[in-house]
Amino acid sequence: MGIVLATSGFAQTTLKEAFKNDFLIGAALNEAEFTGQNSNVAALIKAQFDTISPENVLKWESVHPQPNKYGFAAADQYVEFGQKNGMFIIGHNLIWHQQTPKWVFQDDKGNPVGRDTLLTRMQDHISTVVGRYKGKIGGWDVVNEALNEDGTLRDSPWKKIIGEDYLLKAYQFAHEADPQAELYYNDYSLENAPKREGAIALIKKLQAQGVQVAAVGLQGHYTMDWPTPAQLDETIAAFSPLGVKVMITELDLNMLPAATQSQAAEVSMNFALRAELNPYTNGLPAAVQQQLAQRYADLFAVLVKHHDVVSRVTFWGVTDGDSWLNNWPVKGRTAYPLLFGRNGQPKPAFNAVIQTSKVLQTPQKPR
C-alpha cells in the first residue's frame, strides 16, 4: 500500500490532532495510568488520545467479584480520568466468558443455575454497572467474543444456560439502563470470512429484533502478516452495508515469533518460553523497527480510506512495556507491539502512522 516512510525525525503533531477528521484515537489504560501513579504515561495519554478503554477495571470479576458485592473504586477513577480530560469513555465489557467469576453460573452447591436465575443476575449486573455510569460512559462492549472461528455461536456458559437469546437480553438490559449509550459487539478474527459471516448474521438478527447496534469492534490483535491490508479492507466494506460503524478496539502488532499457528486471540492460550521465541530482549534492530512501522502504515492507510465508516481506533496499551503481549501467549517475552517504547518515546511506527492521516495529506490552502 505504497506509503513511503520518512526515516528520520518525528512528526510534531499528536495522534488525536492528526486523525481529528478521520476517527477517534484511543488507548486501553491500566490502573497505574489513570490513578496518577504512572504520571509520565498519564501525560502521554492526555496529549495523544481522545478516547480511552479500561484494560480490566470494568470486567465482571473486577466490579462484581461476589454475589451482591460490587466494587467500583478503580472503575470510578477510570471514568473520572476520562471526564476530566474530555475523552470519549468506553465501557469494556458486560458479557464475556472470560474474567467472569464461576459463581455467576452456579448455585450455592456449585451446580449450574437455571435460565431465569442467570437472566436475573445478568440484568442486575448490567443495570447496576451501566446505570452507575449513565451519561458518562459513551459506549459499551455489551457482548465480547460470542463467536467461534467458524462463525457459529460459542457454547459459553451464557449460551448453555440461557440459550441463544442471551445476546438479545444483554443488549435490551444495557439499553434500558442507558438509552443514550452506544452499544457494540466486539470480537477477534472477524477479518477471516467464516467468522465475519457469523458476525454479520448475528448483527442482522439483533437488528431484526429491534436492537440498535452502533458499531462492531474488530479487536485488532494483529501480526506482521495477518490480516492482509486487503482482508481488513474487505472486512470494513462487508460491515458497512449493515449501517453499523466499524471500530478497531484493541490494536496491537505481535511481531515476535509465532508460538502457534492459530490466529485466535484466545486469552487462555499459554506456551512455554523458549529462547528462539524471544529474540529481541536487548532492543529491536532498526530493520525490524522499520518493518513494524511499514506494517502499521499499511493498516492505517486502509483505516483512513474508510474514515467515513471507521469511528474509532484504540490501541491495547500505551507503551510496549505495558502490553499484554509480553505475557501472551508466552509468559516473559519482550514485545514491541505499540507506537511508544518502554521509555514512552514515540517509535518510527508512530511517525509512520501519523503520516497516513488525511490532515497531513490534504495540502493546506495558501492564505
Active site residues: 145, 250
Q: Are 191 and 219 in contact (CB under 8 A)?
A: no
Q: Does 265 bind ligand GLA (CB under 6 A)?
A: yes
Q: State which of positions 325-364 bind ligand GLA (CB under 6 A).
A: none
Residue carrying C-alpha cell 431484526: 208
State the Cα–Cα distance between residues 59 and 330, nearest whole angstrom. Answer: 23
Q: 85: burial class by Cβ within 10 Å (0-12, 13-18, 19+)?
A: middle
Q: Does 187 bind ligand GLA (CB under 6 A)?
A: no
Binding pattern to ligand GLA, positions 70-99, x when CB under 6 A? ----------------------x-------
Q: Does 219 bind ligand GLA (CB under 6 A)?
A: yes
Q: Are 338 and 315 in contact (CB under 8 A)?
A: yes
State the Cα–Cα distance between residues 39 and 164, nearest whole angstrom. Answer: 44
Residue carrying C-alpha cell 455467576: 104
Q: Which is nearer to ligand GLA, 153 or 267 (CB)?
A: 267
Distance of closest approach, residue 315 Cβ to ligand GLA, in angstroms:
12
Distances 118 to 23, 109, 166 between C-alpha atoms, Å = 37, 15, 10
According to CB under 6 A, which one of 33, 178, 250, 252 is a site residue for ligand GLA? 250
Q: Which is nearer to ligand GLA, 22 or 55 (CB)?
A: 55
Q: Does 264 bind ligand GLA (CB under 6 A)?
A: no
Q: Which is nearer to ligand GLA, 323 or 355 (CB)?
A: 323
Find, among 253, 260, 259, the residue nearest to 317 by Cα.
253
Find, among 50, 81, 76, the residue nearest to 63 by Cα.
76
Ramachandran angles phi, psi of 319, nearest 5°? -105, 160
Q: Does 144 bind ligand GLA (CB under 6 A)?
A: yes
Q: Which is nearer to ligand GLA, 200 or 248 (CB)?
A: 248
Q: Does 324 bind ligand GLA (CB under 6 A)?
A: yes
State the Cα–Cα distance between residues 60 and 156, nearest whole angstrom. Answer: 15
Q: Does 62 bind ligand GLA (CB under 6 A)?
A: no
Binding pattern to ligand GLA, positions 156-185, x when CB under 6 A? ------------------------------
Q: Does 252 bind ligand GLA (CB under 6 A)?
A: no
Q: Does 310 bind ligand GLA (CB under 6 A)?
A: no
Length of the chain (residues)? 367
Q: Which is nearer to ligand GLA, 18 or 94 (CB)?
A: 94
Distance of closest approach, residue 49 Cβ to ligand GLA, in angstroms:
17
Q: Which is nearer to ligand GLA, 56 or 291 (CB)?
A: 56
State the Cα–Cα distance between residues 348 and 335, nearest whole angstrom. Answer: 15
According to CB under 6 A, which one of 3, 5, 153, 267 is a site residue for ligand GLA? 267
Give the CB-nearest residue to ligand GLA.
Answer: 324
Distance of closest approach, residue 144 Cβ to ligand GLA, in angstroms:
5
State the Cα–Cα distance between residues 265 and 96, nearest whole angstrom. Answer: 14
State the Cα–Cα distance between residues 215 and 182, nearest whole angstrom. Answer: 8
Distance of closest approach, residue 116 Cβ to ligand GLA, in angstroms:
28
Distance of closest approach, residue 250 Cβ to ligand GLA, in angstroms:
5
DSSP per-residue string spanning 207-259: HHTT----EEEE--EEESSSS-HHHHHHHHHHHGGGT-EEEEEEEEEE-SPPS
Q: Are 245 and 219 in contact (CB under 8 A)?
A: no
Q: Which is nearer to ligand GLA, 50 or 55 (CB)?
A: 55
Residues in contact with ligand GLA by CB under 6 A are 92, 144, 219, 250, 265, 267, 324
